[in-house]
Every structure is written in structure tokens, then in C-alpha cells.
Amino acid sequence: MSKSLLRAALIACLPFCAMALTVATPAQAADKEKADAPKVSKSIAKPLGECQKALNAKDYPTAIAQCNDAKSKGDLTDYDNYLINRFLGVAYYQTNDRVKAGEAFVAVVKNPASPPEDRANLLGAAIQLASEANNGELVGELAKIAVDSKATNPDIYAPIAQYYYSKNDTANTILYAQKGIDVATSEGKVPQYGLYQLLTFSYDKNKDRANEIKGLTMMARDYGKAEDWKYLLDFTLEFLPKGNKATAEVAALNIYRLRLLVGAEWSSSNFLEAADAADAVKAFGDERTFLQMGIQKGVFNQAKVGPLVAKNNADAKKDEPVLPQIEKVAKDGKALTSVAEAYYGYGRYADAARAAQNAVKAGGPYVAEAKLVLAMAQTRQGDEAGAKQTLTGFTGDAALVRVADLWMTYLNRRPAAPAAAAK
């Protein structure tokens, strides 16, 4: 698979990982002052009051002038400085002076008199503005504050990770992207999509394929985007354990079956690879589906694949009618699993589930493959709870375990993640 293709897809979306900057209204800040014990010094009460009036009237130049007048007074307390910088930050931000707004918000974050909730709310804005100013030292300092203070807003970590990513510092990108993901997960929230992108792309840069696949798995589970599934399935096929050729073919077939379900894009080579895997397993119904898709997509020249299509039609014509008879006399797990695979390919999911259940009961070396067919058939019938139960604690050949993990990822998808229509 072309890694540059993955890189292009990810980098196109990176700006979306930046958190939206929001600042409290002056009225909210005033309410906070009334509720808290500290009081404004008399020397700045008038200019600060005028500043607040100007902010309410959206007269930001006047607000800045009044705040700077208050700042010029002597003997200011930490709480005085908190309110002055709080109002200045709002005014500068509204006039699009992001450098000075950032300086004011940083002053609020570092001020010991700032109310903890307000400090936490402004930490993300301060970090993002420091990142925009390309102030790496300040980004690092604020990042440490975020970690030390156990900042619970997971979006705070997105601009930190994005800054380090822009500097090609994959170690810190991974550190803070993972931190944001962990915080969101601990709070029962879906982590920001951009955090997953930064994490996965950094692993891609490091050529850490195992963790890259883990990142894509989380993206597919939590967002269900067809393009994320495409990369996840392509990478899995590329790095699929192939110790046992027959098992690897079964695993590849089941990955392509999942590809149909999630609506991931197919490359030209996928259709023949899928058809070959289906033919090897004697899943002639699946093979027919893949060949027809390739013809419909214009990938195959119908004349060139004509002999293959004719052979498949002949195989299917002989195979499907005798399946019930074979199932009836089959005693061992191998025969029953083969029947279940064939039923599944023809879209006969209830029959596939029955044969697979009997194969599991028969025991032997084909139990893992039979469980996979059973879970897939249950999924296709809408019994996702049953499919999860079937795959829980799944063991067997490494390639089949990997495929079971993929199907479990689909079954554990977030409610917001779209489920592709069954084909």
C-alpha cells in the first residue's frame, strides 16, 4: 500500500483537530467576581468598570484603553491583574489581535489568583494562540501546566499535539495526542477525530505499523468513515500473518466480506484478490459477487474474465443445490464449516449460522473458522449482540484472530458511526 496516499488523506484534515476558541463573556466574568471573596482594588475600580461597560457595548478599543489605564496603577493585587488580563484578552481577541490576546490569556493561566475553572477554560485558548505564534517554549510550558493540573478538557491537547507535529516531533505529538484520547475516553467521550489523525500519522512517520493499525482501528470504531476502514483493511491485508496458506485465504476472504459491509472503497486489485480467496475456499457465491462488482465498476473487461465467470457460474450451479444434503450427512467440523462458508457466500445467513453452530459443537481444528462464520452470519441477520458473544475470547490462528478483531471493531462501533447497508 502507498504510505504517501495515507499521508495525503490525513494531512488534508489536520486543521480540523484545532479546538474552537471560546472566551467567557464580560457578564460571566463579573458574576464570577461577585461570587468570589477577592475584591478589586479601589485604585482600578473606575477604569475597570469603564472597561467592562465598553466590552458589553462591544467598544473594544475603549475597553483596551481603560484596561491599560487600570494596569498602569500601582500596588495591584494578583486578583486585580487577573481581571485586567481577563478583560484585555477578550478585547484583543475580538479585535483579532491574537498575539496580545494570547499574552493576556497566558497571564490569566499563570496567575495564582485566577479562579481554577476560568484558568482551565482559558488554557486551551492560550495553548492554541501560543502554537499559532510558533512559540515552542511557551507551548511546552503550557503543556506541562495542562498535564500537572490534570486538565480535563481533552481538546486542550489537540493544539499541543498539532504544534509538535508541525515541528516533526513525533514523540511529543504521540504523547499529547494519546493524552487527549485517554482523557476523553476516561470521561466517556468520543476523542476528537483530529487527535486520532495526529496519532496515526505520527506512527506512520515512525514506520510503527502495529500502532498505526491500532490508531486506524480506533478511528474506524469511533467514526466509521469509509476511508478509515479502507486504510485499516488494506494495512491488515498487507501485514496479515500468512503462516498457514489455507487459513490466510480464509482470513483474506473474511476481510473482503467486511469490506462490503462497511462500504470501504475497493482498488482495482482488490476484486481479483477477493475472487481468488473466495474460489480457494470454495465460497462460489462470494466469488460471483466480487466478479460482478469488478465488471460493474469497469475494472474487469468482461470478455477477458468471461471464462472465469463461466467457471464460477458452473461451480455455483453444482454447489448450492447440494449444500443441504452435504450438511445433513456431515459429521465433522471441517465439512460443516465448508458448508457454512458456502451458505454465507450465497447470502443464506440463517443456514450459515446453523451449519457453523454445528461445526463449533463438533470441535476440532476448524472451530475458530466456524466461529467466525457464525459471528458474521449473526451480524448479517441483525443479531449483533449474539455476534459479540461468539467472538468474545476468540482464539486460534493469528490471521483468524486478527480478522475476529476487525469484526469486533465493527460490532463495537459508536452509535454515531454509520452502518453500511448490507449487500
Distance CA 156, CA 20 (A): 10
Mind listing the pLDDT tens digit for each residue in 233-292? 999 999 999 888 999 999 999 999 999 999 999 998 999 999 999 999 999 999 999 999
The verdict on 355 and 216 lying in the same domain is: no
Going residue by residue through the chain, which has 423 residues, state the pLDDT in tens, using 9 for 90 and above.
344 434 444 443 443 344 444 444 434 444 454 555 578 999 999 999 999 999 999 999 999 999 999 999 888 999 999 999 999 999 999 999 999 999 999 999 999 998 888 888 888 889 889 888 888 899 889 888 888 887 777 778 888 898 899 899 999 999 999 999 999 999 999 999 999 999 999 999 999 999 999 999 999 999 999 999 999 999 999 999 988 899 999 999 999 999 999 999 999 899 999 999 999 999 999 999 999 999 999 988 888 889 999 999 999 999 999 999 999 999 899 999 999 999 999 999 999 999 999 999 999 999 999 999 999 999 999 999 999 999 999 999 999 999 999 999 999 998 755 554 433
Gyration radius of the chain's alpha carbons:
30
The verdict on 218 and 279 lying in the same domain is: no
The verdict on 218 and 293 lying in the same domain is: no
Whether 306 contacts 315, CB under 8 Å: no
Alpha helices, DSSP H only, in 282-382? Answer: 284-296, 302-319, 323-329, 333-345, 349-362, 367-380
Distance CA 280, CA 41 (A): 83
**268 falls within a domain:** yes
The verdict on 160 and 260 lying in the same domain is: no
Distance CA 408, CA 340 (A): 20
- ∠ CA 310-312-313, nearest 5°, is 65
The verdict on 177 and 255 lying in the same domain is: no
The verdict on 324 and 358 lying in the same domain is: yes
The verdict on 206 and 69 lying in the same domain is: yes
Q: What's 358's domain CATH number?
A: 1.25.40
The verdict on 212 and 316 lying in the same domain is: no
Question: What is the tally of structural domains in the chain?
Answer: 2
The verdict on 335 and 188 lying in the same domain is: no
What separation, in Å, do the N-terminal and C-terminal C-alpha atoms of the chain show?
26
Residue 87: name the closest of 120, 49, 117 by CA: 49
For residue 153, report the phi and psi dihedrals to the nearest 5 degrees. -85, 105
The verdict on 221 and 252 lying in the same domain is: no
The verdict on 262 and 199 lying in the same domain is: no
**155 falls within a domain:** yes
SS3 content of the chain, % helix, strand, coil (to 5): 75, 0, 25
**336 falls within a domain:** yes
Q: What's 90's domain CATH number?
A: 1.25.40.10
Place of cell 475603549: 62
CB count in 10 Å sphere of residue 36: 11
Burial of 415 (0-12, 13-18, 19+ CB in 10 A): exposed
Residue that terminates a domain, selected from 194, 226, 258: 226
Domain span at residue 61 reads 14-226
Alpha helices, DSSP H only, in 239-301? Answer: 245-262, 268-281, 284-296
